[in-house]
Amino acid sequence: MEREQAMIYDVAIVGGSYAGMAAGLQLAQARRKVVIVDEGKPRNRFATHSRGFLTQDGRSPHDIKAAGYAELAQYPTVEWCMGKAETVTGEIDNFTLTLAGSMAAESLRARRVILAAGVGDELPPLPGLGERWGQYVFHCPYCHGFDLNRGRIGVLATSVAAMHLALLLPDWGRTTLFLNDAFEPDKEQLEKLAKRGTHIERGAVARLTGDALEVVMADGRVFPLDGLFVVTQTAPSVLAIRLGCELDVTPLGRVIKTSAAKATSVPGVFACGDIAMPVGNLSLAVSDGALAGQAAHHSLVFDL
């Protein structure tokens, strides 16, 4: 569908992955004019399959997203715009989104905005980690732990936040916490780790290597693993910062602060998915997006 120059959309959704599509689907049911701006870089694009999403368990993230796109394409009031939203300006009932792409910059106008662009993971600068991200190195055991078949699991510490994974992961396999000189557990923490059966390895990790996954320590020790988990940091949304949205600081990075109805501190702007919650999970993103879509519709109807 070609965009009309004078068209003002009911809702512009920034981000066309799981949360954004779920929001768009709710608005499509209400026959609202929606434009979804998508850069095409979902957070889980490095993973071969996704776990824990009801009816889609084990399916590839690409296939799940393609199925969502096909469903939304059936609705005549939903339009897709492939590109990156660089700025969002204006106020409730009159927002302007400036896009950047291969062509000249263009703008869209909308009465409401839903930010659902997701986040990127800031990975530790450890040699060999980046190329194994999503294949052997993960951040979510609920998404990837089952397929490790109760094998050898590692947790790479970058801070004391690694304790959470180190206590959680024994349900998925034999777990080793690599302290990596990031912190030293106190007596209480040591007791908790022992109770869960988590093994501890002290010393710095030098690199990841091997055709699959091996942790190589600075002193030369080598630990073959089936999977390694790490607590990543997520960068805050640049669009949200420019808009003036209030942020929440979490152990995993800064996210957009929202109300129970997914409203941000800026009237007329909503946020959902990984960009608005510290825990990244496909099922949670879809649920969050559906809530944001309904909330945006209510805002239009009741002038909220």
Task: Check whether residue 218 and residue 260 sit in a common domain.
Answer: no
Domain boundary among 199, 230, 261: 230
What is the residue whose two structure tokens read 């896009």? 99
- Backbone phi, psi, residue 255, to 5°: -125, 165
In the prediction, which pLDDT does 101 show?
61
In a domain, 289, yes or no: yes
Q: Classify residue 244 by burial, with Cβ atoms within 10 Å: 0-12, 13-18, 19+.
A: exposed
Classify residue 2: in a domain, yes or no. Answer: no
29/106 Cα distance (integer angstroms): 28
In a domain, 59, yes or no: yes
Residue 278 has what pLDDT?
Answer: 79
Residue 180 pLDDT > 70: yes
Query: Would you say residue 3 lies in a domain?
Result: no
What tens digit of pLDDT does each residue of 235-251 get?
Answer: 778 889 999 999 998 87
Please check whether residue 1 lies inside any domain of the structure: no
Classify residue 152: in a domain, yes or no.
yes
Q: CB neighbours of 268 closer than 8 A, spacing ≥ 6?
A: 91, 92, 93, 95, 111, 112, 113, 299
Would you state the structure tokens that stand for residue 164, as one six-digit string? 């959470």
Residue 28 falls within a domain, yes or no?
A: yes
Specify whether 129 is located in the same domain as 45: no
- If asked whether residues 45 and 173 sit together in one domain, one would say no
Same domain, 38 and 24: yes
pLDDT of residue 261: 95
Cα Rg of the chain (Å, integer)? 21
Task: With beta carbons less than 8 A apart as the criterion, state whether 17 and 65 touch.
Answer: yes
**Together in a domain, 107 and 255:** yes
Do 239 and 215 lie in a common domain?
no
Q: What is the tally of structural domains in the chain?
A: 2
Kindly state whether residues 195 and 293 are assigned to the same domain. no
Tens of pLDDT, residues 58-93: 787 788 888 889 999 999 999 999 888 989 999 999
Runs of H (alpha helix) within the chain: 18-29, 61-72, 141-144, 162-168, 187-196, 238-243, 282-302
pLDDT score recorded for residue 210: 85
CATH code, 116: 3.50.50.60
Q: Residues of the chain with pLDDT > 70: what percent?
A: 94
- State the pLDDT confidence band at 1, using cuts at 50, 70 and 90: very low
Domain stops at, among 230, 258, 274 = 230
User: Quick one: 114 and 238 in the same domain?
Assistant: yes
Identify whether the C-beta of residue 270 lies closer than 8 Å to the C-beta of residue 288: no
Same domain, 116 and 143: no
User: Domain of 28?
Assistant: 8-120+233-302
102 pLDDT above the threshold of 60: no
Which of 168, 202, 230 terminates a domain? The answer is: 230
Say yes or no: 182 and 221 in one domain: yes
In a domain, 35, yes or no: yes
